């Protein structure tokens, strides 16, 4: 038995030394992010930070966006010591906080006298019981993209910053035909019905989903009229929204602000070549024009990091004015918005030059896509499951909404 | 048998010539139909990989592209570091296959031909874990690997795949079929146990080893979940993870997706086709047939 | 196999082992060690740990944050309180676990016989000295070695509304006008189809091997008795293949219960919950809801089911060996 034990130990030691051979360099900050090589703002941020902090290298750990939650959670659960993790969903942050993976930031904020005012209050979505756990560096809200060339060809006026959903649907129908779709919906729940939270009253975790019917009906009306691609096909083909819009046969596309930088690049590298613009998303009767919903993206320090001070230096820079300018140059909307930052956003190379697009940069209200709560991830699982039933018309809108109400009531207890 | 004898009245005579010919023709028709069905996805994949993006879903379907767009295949090399993925995967697959075959046949020899305490209990442990889905212990395993510092190294996948119970099970079933007298005779001739394993068991088990090599190589090559969870840096990624990434990033370039898929299938096909003779023998001679 | 364990595992008498025997044992252990150490560390240990996890509440992080809940996780996944109140039907229509169980069982109960029938039919056909048997065999087996990522994507495209498979079905029945994977009833069938397509070649090879072991004189005797082809099949071939069928069905059942990648790539469990399987459920609980305890307890349910099937197979084999 002793012999066997000795063998085991020897084997383990052998394995350990083999892996320690890959030692880390000093002054390298590892940052876990998704699609690091293809996302322009990550590239810009890295360049700007390294330029202003000589001797420091940012090394991205690239994770495919679809696998981000699974992968990062496994990494953290396994005790990964990467210094900074990007926070994709607020629910991730909440779960990570509960598991103790995140370094609390209040002491750093006090020590460095960090000014939070530029966030205008949205940073509180990253706080639990008064303790800040991450800083937002990006705040995307949804806007309506449109293909100016298609509108010109049809001789129809461009969409405006003040449109109701009915006006939008009429517009979509008017533009459809001859291989042109008036609008395009990505398969996500958020792309179809999240507009419900724009009124500042409804949320997606309150357990009552009756109001969603309005948006599902609107969608089905457009699908039936052939004014948008059918959900079935978009889903089965795994069609990406950028491919759909860049193909040039889709007139409008409600999508998150992050798509601006994708479009700027697509035009630059010649993937597509039409004129485009953005306007505020349509609104329901009685909801203020310019209301939208959105999500935050931030960065947190891993509690297991060995370079916490450097990591703080990085995330505070990233979320602050300098980082925000770097982010804004690529057409991405930073969470920190000052006058200089807004100016940078509008003057980003490739950003549409019309006044409506510029005006759409400043929404009057931005609701949170799914607010953080103990049950957010379970609720969104249910909503997404039922969403796919309604969208494939496997059940009627009423049945679907009833199922949502029922199952979420179960979760909320 | 008497039952059969009583009920033969309406039976078809097996040696009726005309019927036999019809039967044969029918048999071939069915076989060819099933073969076509089996090959459809591969044919479609190949044909789609040689088309233009917009031709892929043309209606009605055109199986042979109008113009063969071979450039799709040169295009993908600049879009994904496919060569690097191949290198990683090949390295893992070869290492795993070597370790697996060697240690399994070693352990299987002990299980099949040697006496020691706890033999049956240990073997049941092995067999029981074959039945346990990997997903059930994926997380504890990850925590363990991580604490050993194996995370994001190719070694993680190597140790993950190398010690599967299946290999031991398969080799043991095969050794069981080799007469024990052969070992006894060798022992009398003064051969040590190691000598018996090396000079008698190994040469005799060529078919079983070929079987295990194919299973291991193919399994490792096609594994998606393991590399997805354990490998992070792009330099470490394997073909399957790379393929999945490519699909995500180029979701509408169906022709390119299919071209990459065709490339990812090539190495396994080569291994399979070159070893298949032994392989089928191997399945026949190991306990795999029950 | 249980039988072979009995006949070959001669029990060692309980007495003091001599130095010679000790040396022999050490040699045996030295054969075992390289594989066993790896196996124990990377498989056995994690399996045991996940059994433990099914009794605790744990969201990950430090081990201190684990909370012993006993059977609490099991009560939670079976929703015992609600089921007791509303009847067993509630479990299978509303509860995630019940639906996943139902789907997995349905999938298994269809896939296993379909695969075995196809495999046996192909094996019988190829066993008849057909020309090009090797080529056919290679073609039929090929799907088994192809990667699931590439193949499933391919199948998904083919089953799209305008894909070739659908074009075929639409030609037969004009009213079906949907992607398979977007239809609650068809989605699971698309997964079954891909599974049968993939596995039949493998089990065909196993049947082929078994068929070669059927003594020819049995057929000769049957022919002498005047049995026709069908009677030969039911009275000679089938009974002779029974051990193989048992073995193959157990292996298949186990692999069917473990189904994951096909579902993940083809349907992601949808539409709704129509293709939610036990393993996809485990995966969701562990990696999107961070409930490791819950995930492990579902895993245990799966493990118990799989073990029951394995034990049935072993005892059946035993019975046959004794007859």
Does C287 contact chain A (CB < 8 Å)?
yes
Residue C321: the pLDDT is: 55
**Cis peptide before C271, with omega less than 30 degrees from 0?**
yes
- Across the interface, whether the CB atoms of B153 and A19 are under 8 A apart is answered yes
Cα C29 from Cα C31, distance rounded (Å)? 5
Q: Are A193 and A273 part of one and the same domain?
A: yes
**Is it the case that residue C89 has pLDDT exceeding 80?**
yes
Instruction: Provide the pLDDT for residue C226.
Output: 85
Same domain, A86 and A189: no
Q: What is the mean pLDDT of chain B?
A: 80
The CATH number given to whatever domain includes residue A211 is 3.40.190.10
Chains with ≥3 CB–CB distances under 8 Å to A:
B, C
Q: If you measure CA to CA, which chain C residue comes closest to B34?
A: C140
Q: Which fold has domain B75-289?
A: MetI-like fold (1.10.3720)
Query: 3-state SS of chain A?
Result: CHHHHHHHHHHHHHHHHHHHCCCCCCCEEEEEEECCCCCHHHHHHHHHHHHHCCCCEEEEEEECHHHHHHHHHHHHHCCCCCCEEEECCHHHHHHHHHHCCECCCHHHHHHCCCCCHHHCCHHHHHEECCEECCEEEEEEEEEEEEEHHHHHHHCCCCCCCCCEHHHHHHHHHHHCECCEEEECCCCCHHHHHHHHHHHCCCCCCCCCCCCHHHHHHHHHHHHHCCCCCCHHHHHHHCCCHHHHHHCCCEEEEEEECCHHHHHHHHHHCCCCCCCEEEEECCECCCCCCCEEEEEEEEEEEECCCCCHHHHHHHHHHHHCHHHHHHHHCCCCCCCCCCHHHHHHHHCCCCCCCCHHHHHCCCCCEEEECCCCCCCHHHHHHHHHHHHHHHHCCCCCHHHHHHHHHHHHHHHHC
C-alpha distance across the termini of chain A, in Å: 53
Could B131 and C303 be called an inter-chain contact, meaning their C-beta atoms sit closer than 8 Å? Answer: yes
Same domain, A224 and A195: yes
The ipTM value here is 0.76
pLDDT in tens, A54-91: 889 999 988 877 778 878 887 887 778 899 999 988 87
The domain locations on chain B are 2-71, 75-289
% pLDDT > 70, chain B: 88
Q: Are residues A88 and A197 in the same domain?
A: no
Structure tokens at A408: 């979420």
**Can you give the pLDDT at residue A337?**
76
Residue-level pLDDT at A99: 82
pLDDT tens digits for range C279-297: 889 888 887 777 888 988 9
pLDDT of residue A73: 81
Q: Does the pLDDT at position C171 exceed 80?
A: no
* Confidence band for A46, pLDDT divided at 50, 70 and 90: very high
Q: Is the pLDDT of residue B46 over 80?
A: yes
Give the residues across from A32 on adjacent strands. Answer: A61, A85
The mean pLDDT of C97-121, rounded to a whole number, is: 94
**Tokens (6 digits) for A250:** 């889709």
**What is the percent of chain A where pLDDT is above 70?**
94
Mean of pLDDT over chain C: 82
Q: Does A127 lie in the same domain as A147? A: no
Same structural domain for residues A276 and A318? no
Nearest to C178 among A77, A232, A410 (CB): A232
Radius of gyration for the alpha carbons in chain A, expressed in angstroms and rounded: 23
Of the candidates B3, B264, B289, the beta carbon closest to that of C150 is on: B264
Q: What was the pLDDT predicted at B145?
A: 83
Measured distance CA(B215)–CA(B287) in Å, rounded: 15
Instruction: Give the model confidence (pLDDT) of C296-322 as tens digits.
Output: 899 889 888 888 887 787 777 667 655
- Examine the pLDDT at B4 and tell me if it is beyond 70: no
- Looking at A1-10, A43-52, B221-230, C149-158, which range is the least confident one? A1-10
Comparing CB atoms, the residue among C137, C147, C254 nearest residue B264 is: C147
- Work out the angle between the directed axes of helices A40-52 and A321-328 (0-180°, nearest 10): 140
Instruction: Answer for the pair B152, A81: CB distance below 8 angstroms, yes or no.
Output: no
Interval C195-219 mean pLDDT: 86
Span A215-237, average pLDDT: 90
- Structural domain containing residue C106: 87-322
Percent of chain B with pLDDT over 90: 4
| Cβ atoms of residues A58 and A50 within 8 Å | yes
Residue C194 covered by a domain:
yes
Which residue in chain C is spatially nearest to B274 when comparing CA positions? Answer: C138
Grade residue C17 by pLDDT with cuts at 50, 70 and 90: low
- For residue B228, the chain A residue with the least C-alpha distance is A71
Ramachandran bin of C104, using left for φ above 0, alpha for ψ from -120 to 50, beta for the remaining angles: alpha
Q: What's the rounded Cα separation, in Å, for the pair A185 and C20?
A: 77
Q: What is the mean pLDDT of chain A?
A: 86
Give chain A's domain count: 2
pLDDT for B245 equals: 77
Distance from CA of A29 to the nearest CA of C (A): 22
Q: Do C290 and A385 touch (CB under 8 A)?
A: no
A254 pLDDT more than 90: yes
pLDDT of residue A14: 47
Interface test with B, best of A20, A78, A243 (most B CBs within 10 A): A78
Q: Is residue C23 part of a domain?
A: no
Q: Do the chains contact at A12 and B155, CB–CB below 8 Å? A: no
Q: Quick one: which of B185, B198, B211, B15 has its CA closest to B109?
A: B198
Distance, CA of A318 to CA of A379 (rounded, Å): 31
pLDDT > 50? residue A230:
yes
Enclosing H/E stretch for C68 = strand C67-68
Q: Where are the beta strands (DSSP E) in B55-164?
A: none
Helix runs in chain C, H state only = 2-8, 19-39, 45-53, 72-77, 80-86, 88-93, 96-126, 133-141, 148-158, 164-172, 184-212, 216-224, 229-232, 238-257, 261-266, 278-287, 292-322
Query: Is the confidence at residue C251, as pLDDT, over 50?
Result: yes
**Is residue A87 in some structural domain?**
yes
Show residues of chain C in contact with B126, CB under 8 Å: 39
Contact B228, A71 (CB under 8 A): yes
Nearest CA in chain C to A374: C289
Alpha carbon of C146: minimum distance to chain A alpha carbons (Å): 21
- Give me the pLDDT at residue A142, please: 93
* First and final C-alpha spacing in chain C: 15
Closest C-alpha among A217, A191, A189 to residue A205: A189
Is residue A17 a part of any domain in this protein? no
What are phi and psi for residue B117, nearest 5 degrees?
Answer: -70, 145
Q: Are the beta carbons of A377 and C269 separated by less than 8 Å? A: no
Q: How far is B145 from chain C (nearest CA, A)?
A: 8
Question: What is the rounded average pLDDT of the residues A95-114?
Answer: 89
Instruction: Give the pLDDT band of residue A103 (cuts 50, 70, 90).
Output: very high
- pLDDT band for B285, please (50, 70, 90 cuts): low
Instruction: Write down the pLDDT at residue A177.
Output: 85
Token reading at B62: 């055109």
Kindly state whether residues A302 and A280 are assigned to the same domain. Answer: no
Residues of chain B in contact with residue A18, where contact means CB-CB under 8 angstroms, are 153, 155
Averaged pLDDT, A174-194: 92
Domain contains C95: yes
Answer yes or no: do A335 and A372 share one domain: no
Beta bridge partners of A142: A256
Considering only A19-28, A245-254, B198-207, C65-74, which range has the smallest mean pLDDT? A19-28
Rg of chain B over all Cα atoms, to the nearest angstrom: 25
Query: Residue A403's pLDDT is what?
Result: 92
B277 vs C88: which has the higher pLDDT? C88
Residue B288: its pLDDT value, please? Answer: 52
Mean pLDDT in residue range A265-286: 89
Q: Report yes or no on A7 lying in a domain.
A: no
In chain B, the residue whose alpha carbon lies closest to the alpha carbon of C242 is B290
Per-residue confidence at C9, pLDDT binned at 50, 70, 90?
Answer: very low
Q: What is the pLDDT of residue A19?
A: 41
The region of weakest confidence among A196-210, B32-46, B252-266, C1-15 is: C1-15
How confident is the model at residue B60, as a pLDDT? Answer: 62
The predicted-structure confidence for C227-240, as pLDDT tens digits, reads as follows 888 888 888 888 88
Between chain B and chain C, the number of residue pairs with CB atoms below 8 A apart is 302
* Average pLDDT of the segment spanning B43-61: 77
Is residue C30 one of the residues assigned to a domain? Answer: no
Q: B109 at the C interface (CB within 8 A)?
A: yes
Q: Which of residues 41-60 of C touch B (CB under 8 A)?
A: 41-47, 49-50, 53
Tell me the two tokens of residue B69: 């767009």
Q: What does the pLDDT look like over C143-153, one tens digit per residue?
A: 888 877 778 87
Cα angle B34, B40, B46; round to 5: 145
A15 touches chain C (CB under 8 A): no
Q: Which residues contact B174 (CB under 8 A, 6 or more apart)?
A: B108, B205, B207, B208, B282, B285, B286, B287
CATH number of the domain where residue C258 is located: 1.10.3720.10
Q: What is the pLDDT of residue A367?
A: 85
Nearest residue to B271 (alpha-carbon basis) of B90, B74, B100, B3: B90
At A50, the pLDDT band (50, 70, 90 cuts) reads: very high
Average pLDDT value for residue range B106-120 = 87
Query: What is the DSSP secondary structure assignment for residue B177, as one 8-state letter?
Result: T
Is A83 or A345 the better-scoring residue by pLDDT? A83
A positions 214-273 inside 8 Å of C (CB):
230-233, 235-238
Contact between chains at B228 and A66 (C-beta distance less than 8 A): no
- Binned at pLDDT 50, 70 and 90, residue C2 comes out as very low
Domain count, chain C: 1
pLDDT band at C119 (very low <50, low <70, confident <90, very high): very high
Lowest mean pLDDT among A7-21, A60-74, C236-250: A7-21
d(Cα B129, Cα C10) in Å, to the nearest integer?
24
Show which of residues 235-254 on chain B sit within 8 Å of chain C, judged by CB atoms.
239-240, 243-244, 247, 254
- Contacts of residue A243 in chain B, CB cutoff 8 Å? 251-252
Residue C162: per-residue pLDDT:
72
A337 with A368, same domain: the answer is no
3-class secondary structure, B115:
coil
Domain coverage including residue A131: 28-140+294-346
Report the range of poorest mean pLDDT among A38-52, A206-220, B3-17: B3-17
Q: Which residues of C278-297 are buried (b: 16+ CB within 10 A; e: fewer)?
A: bbbbbbbbbbbbbbbbbbbb
Name the neighbours of C, counting chains with at least 3 Cβ pairs within 8 A. A, B
**B112–C8 CB contact, under 8 Å:** yes
User: In Å, how far is C310's CA from the nearest CA of chain A?
Assistant: 31
pLDDT digits (tens, 9 = 90+) for C259-274: 888 898 888 887 888 9
- Tell whether C204 is covered by a domain: yes
Asked, for residue C44, whether it belongs to a domain, the answer is no
Do the Cβ atoms of B143 and A77 come within 8 Å? yes
Cα(C43)–Cα(A53) distance, integer angstroms: 45
pLDDT number for residue A279 = 94
User: What HEC string does C129-162 produce?
Assistant: CCCCHHHHHHHHHHHHHCCHHHHHHHHHHHCCCC
């Amino acid at each position: 038995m002793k012999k066997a034990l000795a063998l085991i130990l020897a084997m383990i030691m052998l394995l350990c030394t083999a892996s320690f051979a890959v030692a880390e360099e000093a002054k390298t900050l590892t940052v876990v992010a998704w699609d690091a090589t293809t996302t322009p703002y990550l590239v810009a941020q890295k360049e700007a930070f390294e330029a202003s902090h000589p001797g420091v290298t940012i090394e991205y750990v690239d994770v495919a966006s679809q696998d981000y939650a699974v992968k990062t959670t496994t990494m953290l659960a396994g005790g990964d010591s990467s210094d900074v993790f990007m926070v994709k969903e607020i629910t991730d942050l909440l779960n990570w906080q509960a598991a103790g993976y995140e370094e609390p930031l209040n002491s750093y904020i006090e020590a460095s006298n960090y000014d939070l005012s530029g966030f205008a209050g949205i940073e509180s979505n990253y706080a639990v019981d008064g303790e800040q756990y991450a800083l937002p560096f990006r705040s995307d809200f949804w806007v309506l993209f449109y293909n100016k060339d298609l509108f010109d060809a049809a001789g129809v006026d461009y969409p405006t910053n003040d449109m109701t959903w009915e006006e939008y649907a009429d517009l979509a129908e008017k533009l459809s035909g001859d291989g042109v779709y008036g609008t395009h919906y990505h398969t996500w729940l958020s792309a179809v019905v999240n507009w419900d939270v724009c009124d500042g009253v409804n949320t997606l975790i309150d357990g009552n989903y009756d109001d969603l019917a309005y948006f599902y009906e609107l969608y089905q009306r457009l699908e039936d009229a052939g004014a948008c691609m059918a959900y079935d096909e978009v889903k089965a083909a795994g069609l990406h929204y950028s491919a759909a819009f860049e193909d040039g046969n889709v007139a409008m596309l409600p999508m998150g602000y992050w798509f601006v930088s994708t479009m700027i690049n697509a035009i630059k590298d010649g993937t597509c070549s039409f004129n485009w613009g953005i306007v505020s998303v349509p609104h329901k009767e009685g909801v203020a024009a310019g209301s939208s919903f959105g999500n935050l993206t931030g960065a947190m320090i891993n509690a297991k990091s060995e370079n916490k001070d450097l990591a703080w230096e990085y995330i505070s820079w990233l979320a602050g004015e300098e980082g925000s300018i770097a982010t804004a140059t690529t057409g991405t909307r930073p969470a920190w918005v000052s006058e200089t930052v807004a100016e940078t956003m509008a003057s980003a190379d490739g950003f549409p030059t019309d006044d409506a697009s510029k005006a759409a940069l400043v929404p009057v209200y931005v609701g949170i896509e799914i607010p953080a709560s103990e049950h957010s991830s379970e609720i969104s699982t249910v909503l997404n499951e039922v969403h796919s039933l309604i969208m494939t018309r496997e059940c009627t809108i009423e049945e679907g909404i009833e199922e949502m109400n029922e199952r979420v009531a179960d979760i909320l207890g | 048998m008497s039952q059969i004898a009583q009920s033969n009245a309406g039976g078809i005579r097996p040696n009726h010539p005309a019927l036999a010919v019809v039967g044969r023709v029918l048999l071939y028709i069915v076989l060819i139909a099933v073969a076509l069905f089996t090959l459809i996805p591969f044919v479609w994949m190949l044909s789609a990989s040689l088309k233009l993006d917009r031709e892929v879903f043309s209606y009605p379907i055109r199986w042979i592209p109008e113009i063969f767009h071979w450039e799709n295949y040169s295009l993908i090399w600049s879009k994904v570091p496919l060569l690097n993925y191949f290198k990683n995967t090949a390295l893992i697959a070869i290492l795993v296959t070597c370790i697996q075959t060697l240690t399994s046949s070693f352990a299987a020899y002990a299980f099949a031909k040697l006496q020691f305490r706890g033999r049956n209990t240990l073997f049941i442990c092995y067999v029981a874990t074959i039945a346990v889905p990997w997903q059930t212990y994926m997380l504890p395993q990850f925590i363990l690997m991580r604490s050993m510092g194996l995370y994001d190294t190719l070694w993680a996948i190597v140790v993950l795949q190398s010690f599967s119970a299946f290999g031991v099970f398969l080799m043991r079933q095969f050794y069981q079929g080799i007469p024990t007298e052969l070992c006894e005779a060798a022992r009398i001739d003064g051969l040590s146990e190691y000598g018996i394993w090396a000079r008698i068991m190994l040469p005799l088990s060529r078919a079983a080893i070929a079987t295990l090599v194919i299973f291991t190589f193919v399994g490792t090559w096609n594994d998606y979940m393991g590399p997805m969870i354990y490998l992070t840096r792009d330099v470490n990624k394997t073909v399957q993870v790379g393929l999945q990434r490519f699909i995500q990033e180029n979701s509408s370039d169906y022709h390119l997706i299919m071209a990459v898929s065709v490339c990812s299938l090539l190495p396994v096909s080569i291994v399979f086709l070159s070893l298949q003779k032994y392989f089928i023998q191997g399945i026949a001679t190991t306990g795999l047939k029950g | 196999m249980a039988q072979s364990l009995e006949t070959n595992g001669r029990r060692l008498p309980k007495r003091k082992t001599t130095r010679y025997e000790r040396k022999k044992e050490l040699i045996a252990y030295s054969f075992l060690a390289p594989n066993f150490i790896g196996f124990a560390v990377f498989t056995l240990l994690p399996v045991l740990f996940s059994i433990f996890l099914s009794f605790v509440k744990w969201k990950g992080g430090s081990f201190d944050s684990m909370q012993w809940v006993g059977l609490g996780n099991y009560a939670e996944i079976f929703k015992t309180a609600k089921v007791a109140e509303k009847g067993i039907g509630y479990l299978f229509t509303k509860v995630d676990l019940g639906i996943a169980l139902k789907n997995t069982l349905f999938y298994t109960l269809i896939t296993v016989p379909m695969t075995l029938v196809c495999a046996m039919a192909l094996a019988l056909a190829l066993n008849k000295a057909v020309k090009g048997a090797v080529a056919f065999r290679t073609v039929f087996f090929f799907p088994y070695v192809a990667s699931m990522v590439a193949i499933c994507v391919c199948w998904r495209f083919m089953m799209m509304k305008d894909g070739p498979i659908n074009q075929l079905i639409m030609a037969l029945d004009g009213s079906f006008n949907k992607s398979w994977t977007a239809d609650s009833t068809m989605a699971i069938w698309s997964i079954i189809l891909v599974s049968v397509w993939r596995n039949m070649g493998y089990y065909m090879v196993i049947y082929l091997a078994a068929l070669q072991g059927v003594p020819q004189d049995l057929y000769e005797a049957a022919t002498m008795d005047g049995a026709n082809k069908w009677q030969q099949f039911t009275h000679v071939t089938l009974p002779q293949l029974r051990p193989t069928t048992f073995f193959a069905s157990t292996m298949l059942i186990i692999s069917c219960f473990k189904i994951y990648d096909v579902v993940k790539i083809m349907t992601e469990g949808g539409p709704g919950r129509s293709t939610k399987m036990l393993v996809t459920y485990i995966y969701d609980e562990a990696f999107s809801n961070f409930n490791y305890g819950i995930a492990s307890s579902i895993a245990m349910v799966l493990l118990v089911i799989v073990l029951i099937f394995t034990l049935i197979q072993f005892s059946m084999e035993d019975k046959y060996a004794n007859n």
